[in-house]
Amino acid sequence: MSEGVEWGLHSCVLLGWLSPEAVAGRRLAEYHELPPAYLNKQLQALVRAGIVTSVSGPKGGFQLARRPDRITLLDVVVAIEGTEKAFRCTEIRQQGRNVLSPEHYRQPCSIAVAMRKAELAWRRELAAQTVAEMMASVQRHSPDTPERVRRWFDTERS
């Protein structure tokens, strides 16, 4: 899985705390010391997916498009990784010299079904967790984090 997913999730948590301020991608990159242009690319994917909105120009930047409790981890993963399923069945059972009439392959490939079942369980778990819960979990471990983040983004100018 692309590491852009990790960056996107952490960025969403930061944006959640800084809401409703618009934050420049450059500053988000500085916070974690990430390549600014590449992080920008990932944020663009979030924009296309409607998770965050962007405004150009000075005072511009990114902000969450909706409340953090309405953004699931699955939303972010799909936005960056794409909608392609991890296991894609190429129907090799219908290739080769021992192939039957297409009627015999009406039933979907059993292996594909099994793999898809596991993948759905994965997606279900991701869809059950929201960005808001990530924020709450972090705050539970170190309660002063939101305030510390806000202060850094307000004051530090480098």
C-alpha 62/C-alpha 28 separation (Å) is: 10
Residue pair 45/8 in contact by the 8 Å Cβ criterion? yes
> According to CB under 7 A, which one of 12, 15, 16, 27 is a site residue for DNA?
27
Does residue 51 touch DNA according to CB under 7 A? no
> According to CB under 8 A, which one of 33, 56, 58, 59 is a site residue for a second copy?
33
> According to CB under 7 A, which one of 13, 18, 43, 77 is a site residue for DNA?
43
Which span (30-38, 66-74, 131-139, 150-158) binds DNA, by CB under 7 A? 30-38
C-alpha 63/C-alpha 47 separation (Å) is: 10
Q: Residue 131's CB: how many other CB atoms inside 10 A?
A: 24
> According to CB under 7 A, which one of 8, 11, 17, 25 is a site residue for DNA?
25
- Per the structure block, which two tokens stand in for 140? 């539970």
Site string for a second copy, 60-99 (x = CB under 8 A): -------------x------------xxxxx-xx-xxxx-
C-alpha 123/C-alpha 127 separation (Å) is: 6
Contacts of 103 (CB under 8 A, 6+ apart): none
Does residue 118 touch a second copy according to CB under 8 A? yes
